[in-house]
Amino acid sequence: NAGVTQTPKFQVLKTGQSMTLQCAQDMNHEYMSWYRQDPGMGLRLIHYSVGAGITDQGEVPNGYNVSRSTTEDFPLRLLSAAPSQTSVYFCASRAQRRVNTEAFFGQGTRLTVV
Q: Rounded to whole angstroms, how far apart are CA atoms 62 and 89?
A: 15
If one asks whether residue 66 binds other proteins (CB under 8 A), the answer comes out as no
Binding segment for other proteins among 20-28, 42-50, 66-74, 75-83 (CB under 8 A)? 42-50
Three-state DSSP class for residue 84: helix
Binding segment for other proteins among 12-20, 27-35, 66-74, 78-86 (CB under 8 A)? 27-35
User: Which of 19, 45, 52, 82 contacts other proteins by CB under 8 A?
Assistant: 45
- Counting DSSP H helices and E strands in the chain, the numbers are 0, 11
C-alpha separations of 80 from 6, 65, 101 in Å: 20, 11, 35
Q: For residues 36 and 47, is the Cβ–Cβ distance under 8 A?
A: no
Q: Rounded to whole angstroms, how far apart are CA atoms 62 and 47?
A: 10
If one asks whether residue 61 binds other proteins (CB under 8 A), the answer comes out as no
Binding segment for other proteins among 17-25, 44-52, 63-71, 75-83 (CB under 8 A)? 44-52
Instruction: Summarize as ranges the residues that interact with other proteins (CB under 8 A).
Output: 4, 31, 33, 35, 40-43, 45, 48, 50, 56, 58, 90, 92, 94, 96, 99-100, 102-103, 105-108
